[in-house]
Amino acid sequence: MSKLMASVSGIRGIYGESLTAEIALKYAAHFGVFSGRGKIIVGRDSRVTGLAMFNAVTAGLMSVGCDVVNIGVVSTPTVLLAVEESNAMGGISITASHNSTEWNAMKFVAENGMFLFPENASALVSSFQNEVDYVGWDKVGKLTQDDNATARHIEKILNISYLNIKDIKAKKFKVVIDSVNGAGGLISPQLLKDLGCKVIEINSEPTGIFAHTPEPLNKNLKQLEEAVKEHHADVGFATDPDVDRLAIVDEKGNCIGEEFSLLLSEKFILSKVKGDIVTNLSSSMASEDIASKFGVKVHRTKVGEINVGKLMMEINS
């Protein structure tokens, strides 16, 4: 029997073993109370257990008085953006990220559209030991549907001030996209088409039955590498099931790896917007070389996305 993992990153387990609908309901209810019983936005990736998890999470939230907005099968960044640009008190992304099909999880989002800061996440985890204070029948929350979160996310990307959309469209890039049957199939191809690309899709249907090991590492992307060569594409992209990890395959069909993807991003952003780099202690020292070229500093944090995000906010990076 696997063990449920509850930490500052959320809760994660194998569905039907350490993670059940009953457990998901309880933890969601705790988060609803922690968030002041306000509106909560909920999205999920395409996992086969996602709908069961969603129903349990929704029941838990509504039972403590939270109104719930269902944004459906979406990327985790879409959940974050939806919370940030709303009056919601928080969000839950139902996803086990790059883990295999049998896993599922809940990632808790603060009202600012970021994952909970470590101190707040610790307070939430501590509250899991308490009894849930459910509301009476007349105070149960309501469920509404929002089908436009992905479209708004795409629009937000297309309106980034330093992207020259006209020039990108003029290139008419041929792109292969591997969404590993996750939520990416519902956003990545459309974004690329809106950028004027000719798109070759593989593993786009969001079935939750992943075509290969879902972590986008070089060893798992042979199909994408072959597709790039077969179609004489300019580039290939691979995402994990909730679209918060990206790998790039070059025009020769070689996966360049997540580390180089990060460095390319740093170099591009700094060519458009000057500011210090924030990255974690495990990433490449090449960030220092890039920072030096642009006359900025590198700040390193403990591993964990929220540690990077928090320091970015603190120093206005």
User: Angle at the Cα of 160 (from 113 to 270), degrees rounded to 5?
Assistant: 95
| pLDDT for 169 | 98
Lookup: tokens for 220: 């798992």
Look at the alpha carbons of 135, 139, 145, 150 in this order and tell me if their dihedral is positive or negative: negative
Is the domain of 95 the same as that of 18?
A: yes
Domain membership of residue 24 (yes or no) is yes
**Which active-site residues does the annotation give?**
97
Q: Are residues 13 and 137 in the same domain?
A: yes
Instruction: Say whether both 241 and 276 belong to one domain.
Output: no
Q: Which residues pair with 106 in a beta bridge?
A: 11, 94
32 in the same domain as 130: yes
Chain position carrying tokens 């580039």: 235
Of 210, 229, 255, which residue constitutes the final position of a domain? 255
Give residue 1's pLDDT. 66
**Interhelix angle 286-294/257-272, nearest 10 degrees:** 10
Tokens of 167: 């020039």
Q: Quick one: 276 and 222 in the same domain?
A: no
**Cα atoms in the Cβ-side hemisphere of radius 13 Å centred on 64:** 24
Whether residue 44 sits in one domain with residue 132? yes
Domain annotation covers residue 38: yes
Q: What is the pLDDT of residues 28-67, one digit of tens each?
A: 999 999 999 999 999 999 999 999 999 999 999 999 999 9
Tell me what pLDDT residue 6 has: 84
- Supply the pLDDT for residue 66: 98
Residues 78, 25 within the same domain: yes
**Cα–Cα distance, 37 to 78 (Å, whole number):** 22
278 beta partners: 299
pTM of the model: 0.95
Total domains in the chain come to: 3
Parallel/antiparallel/unpaired status of strands 103-110 and 68-73:
unpaired
Asked if residue 116 and residue 9 are part of one domain, the reply reads yes
Q: Does some domain include residue 152?
A: no
Mean per-residue pLDDT pooled into runs of 10, the chain (317 residues): 82 96 97 98 98 98 98 98 98 96 97 93 91 97 98 98 96 98 98 98 98 95 98 98 96 91 94 94 92 95 88 90
Residue-level pLDDT at 2 = 77
Cα–Cα distance, 229 to 188 (Å, whole number): 20
What tens digit of pLDDT does each residue of 229-248 get?
999 999 999 999 999 999 99
- Domain with 65 in it: what CATH number? 3.40.120.10
Q: What is the residue range of 296's domain?
A: 271-315
